[in-house]
Chains A and B, each alone.
Chain A
Amino acid sequence: MKLYLSRDAAAKALGSEEVAEAILSEAAARGIEVSLTRTGSRGMTWLEPLLEVERDGVRHGYGPMTPETVPALFDGTLDGLGPVEAIPFFARQNRLTFARVGLIDPLSLAEYEAHGGLSGLRRALGMRAEHIIDEVKESGLRGRGGAGFPTGIKWDTVRLAPVERKYIVCNADEGDSGTFADRMLIEGDPLSLIEGMVIAGLGTGATQGYVYIRSEYPDAIAVMQEAIDIARANGVLGDVMGSGRRFDMEVRVGAGAYVCGEETSLLNSLEGKRGVVRAKPPLPALEGFLGRPTVVNNVLSLATIPVIFEKGAAHYAGLGLGRSKGTMPIQIAGNVARGGLFETAFGMPLGELVKDVAGGTATGRPVKAVQVGGPLGAYFAPGQFDTPFGYEEFDGAGGLIGHAGIVVFDDSADMLGLARFAMEFCAVESCGKCTPCRIGAVRGVETLDRVAKGDASAVPLLVDLCETMKDGSLCALGGFTPYPVLSALRLFPEEFAAQQEAAE
């Protein structure tokens, strides 16, 4: 019997290890031979632990599994979900970055290669650096960490810097609430991140890479470390595929500071300093880690590179909407019936994602608001559900897609409380370097407390404060915290006034 079960952190958090144990002991008790492959997650979190049973080459799903449902599985009486790849949530995706996640053993180089792995790198090894950069530029790939900066242009700056030692730094700090794609990619297909970083090295002339992973992700840290050892032992790292070109990399672990996801703060942290934000310029591409030219890219940006080289830039650029090319691994989270990871070409309207893909709320109550792009992203109300998922489209609607996390709230959401939380979070996580963020966020909490107590004069003050934070902050932590606050105020003004009536 050929079985597959995810070892992704979310599956574990929902009991996959207990299920794995029950399967092995039940099989032993029945004298049945099973092979149980541990994979990443297919991204259908509401079905985890999701067990897959291979029959005639097709993987059939069963989930959510519990140890108690294991005997029925072996009896053949357990209701299944049918072929996993035919489940509508999965079937309607276009998986490029996540093509192998959930499919293969993340630490098997042989399975990786059998599913297209390393073909991008082999192609890149035959190209001159400037052609590698051209390929990335032509793909239209933009940074998936939030800012959406064209990846090829960033790489070119590093390539052209006349300095010998250069770096590729992968930003795996993923601190945004509602996001987990970096974690899932690293846990489910770490070799694609390695391959992407090696190609970045070939394109820019960098020979050393670092993956900075947040400490809240112990599973991802362990898998990444193992994957690097495997890649090195098999000649993917070191002397890259015997080409005479060198690239090696190392995992570094964060220490619980949200702001260290900001690229210059991250570089300070890597250097062993306090994670305070650096003023730009100089750009990290020119003076980054230890003052040397450095590419800082998100996990998804780098892990998408191999498939761009495998299928060609035109294939990638042929997908998407306007200047948002290719696909985006969208993370659907919070109060949803079907939460998880959904990779699709840019352009799907927000409402389709929330209603059709996610199936509305988990509680069955009406959707009140959706926060897109993490704690620095704006709230959207159902009236804006026709907004297509794209960088410019969300910007035009007063928001941002950020790292593409969607957090859904039902009608019990307390928007004033959420606005207060945004300010509180900014106060807790501020690096302290600039005043608008450090002091502004504290004042923001106080001002919202006044609003909650019924002080109407505090609302214009709050708006003013938000303007100051937007204009005067050194980075997007202080600069974008006003997005959730002002959008909540704009969409639900009564919640910032109703308190007043109650107090009168």
Chain B
Amino acid sequence: MPASQTVSPAGVEEIIARHLHREGPLLPILHDLQDHFGCIPAEARPAIAAALNITQAEVHGVISFYHDFREEPAGRHVLKICRSEACQSMGGTALGEAVLTLLGLGWGETSADGRITVEPVYCLGLCACAPAAMVNGKLKGRAEAKALVAEVSA
């Protein structure tokens, strides 16, 4: 996961400026901000709105539409488990439940110590080696609950 950097207005401005030449720059800006800060910092919204000549409400509307964008940083480890049909056919539902039980978390929750966030994902394109998961950006085919939990318990 990207190390969350402290938010500085200059940092935000610089990221925005990198994408202004693009046609439709908002998603690239949001991705870049999130890669950099671990979330879309609230402080960034007025700057984005001003740079793109849209309202802050519109910026918020876009951020909230997409599952990927976070308003708060995720845990240090992010575990995504596929819930879609091909994974279900290979025990994906049981995998998800086992992981949530082992971690004592619900879908989308972050542990109180900020160590781990578990999220559902709807297909990782690993449907021929299901069930699938992603641990801190690394893909796992034929995933097993204990091994996944071990990886995020460090």
* Chain A residues within 8 Å of B, Cβ to Cβ: 9-10, 12-14, 45-46, 48, 174-180, 183, 208, 215-219, 250, 252-258, 269-276, 289-290, 331-336, 339-341, 362, 371, 375, 405, 407-410, 413, 417-418, 421, 425, 428-429
Checking A14, A48, A362 against B90 with a beta-carbon cut-off of 8 angstroms, the contacting residue is A362
Cα A409 to Cα B134 in complex, Å, equals 23
> Which residues from B are CB-within-8-Å of A219?
139
* Chain B 54-71 interface residues, beta-carbon cutoff 8 Å to A: 61-62, 65-69
Q: Check if A216 sits within 8 Å of B62, measured CB to CB.
A: no
How near does chain A come to B53, taking the closest CB pair, in angstroms? 12
- Contacts of B28 on A, CB cut-off 8 Å? 252-253
Most chain B CB inside 10 Å of its own CB: which residue of A10, A48, A429: A10
Which B residues between 117 and 134 are near A, CB-CB below 8 angstroms?
Answer: 121-130, 132, 134
Interface contact A334-B89, CB-CB below 8 Å: yes
Give 29 pairs: A residue, B residue, CB < 8 Å, sorted on A.
Answer: A9-B126, A10-B125, A10-B126, A10-B139, A46-B129, A175-B122, A177-B84, A177-B87, A178-B84, A179-B125, A180-B125, A216-B124, A252-B24, A253-B31, A254-B68, A255-B30, A255-B31, A270-B24, A272-B24, A272-B27, A272-B62, A273-B62, A334-B89, A334-B127, A335-B89, A340-B128, A408-B89, A418-B88, A421-B88
Q: Contact: B27 with A269, CB < 8 Å? A: yes
Segment 61-86 of B: residues with Cβ below 8 Å from A:
61-62, 65-69, 84-86
**How many B residues have CB within 8 A of the partner chain?**
42
- Output the nearest chain A residue to B122 by Cβ-Cβ distance: A258
In angstroms, Cα B134 to Cα A219, docked, is 12
Q: With A272-B52, A274-B65 given, is the CB distance from A331 to B89 under 8 Å?
A: no
**A132 to B106 CA separation, bound complex (whole angstroms):** 54
- Assess whether B23 is interfacial by the CB under 8 Å rule: yes
Q: Mark B6-24, 1 if CB is under 8 A from A, else 0.
A: 0000000000000000111
Q: From A255, A257, A290, A335, give the contact of B23 (CB < 8 A).
A: A290
Cβ of A175 to closest chain B Cβ, rounded Å: 6
Given contacts A255-B66, A256-B68, A273-B62, whether A179 and B127 have CB atoms under 8 Å apart is: yes
Q: Is the CB of B128 within 8 A of A46?
A: yes
Cross-chain contact A13 with B141 (CB below 8 angstroms): yes
Neighbouring A residues of B122 by C-beta, 8 Å: 175, 177, 258, 425, 428-429
Residues of A within 8 A of B139 (CB): 9-10, 12-13, 219
**CB–CB B86/A216 < 8 A:** no
Q: B44 on the interface (CB 8 Å rule)?
A: no
Contact partner of B137 (CB less than 8 A), chosen from A179, A218, A252, A371, is: A218
Contact A409 B89 (CB under 8 A): yes
Complex Cα spacing A335 to B90, Å = 6
Measured CB to CB, the closest approach of chain A to B35, in angstroms, equals: 10
Residue on A nearest B140 in the bound complex, by CB: A13
* Residues of chain A lying within 8 A (CB to CB) of residue B90: 334-335, 362
**Quick check: B127 and A407 within 8 Å, CB to CB?**
yes
Residues of A within 8 A of B128 (CB): 10, 45-46, 180, 331-333, 336, 339-341
Instruction: Give the CA-CA distance A331 to B141 in the complex, in Å.
Output: 16
Cβ-based interface call for B25 (8 A): yes
A407, B27: Cα distance in complex, Å:
32
Cβ-defined contact, B52 with A421, below 8 A: no
Q: Write the nearest CB–CB distance from B67 to chain A, whole angstroms.
A: 4
Q: Give bound CA distance, A448 to B26, whole Å.
A: 39
Contacts of A410 in B (CB 8 A): 89
Select one of B52, B68, B123 contacting A177, CB under 8 A.
B123
- Determine the chain A residues whose CB is within 8 A of the CB of B86 once the complex forms: 177-178, 333-334, 405, 407
Chain B residue contacts of A180, Cβ below 8 A: 125-128
Docked-complex contact B141 and A10, CB < 8 angstroms: yes
**A331 & B65 in contact (Cβ 8 Å cutoff):** no
Tell me which residues from 34 to 51 in chain B have a Cβ below 8 Å from any Cβ of chain A: none
Residue in A closest to B66 when the chains form the complex, CB atoms: A255
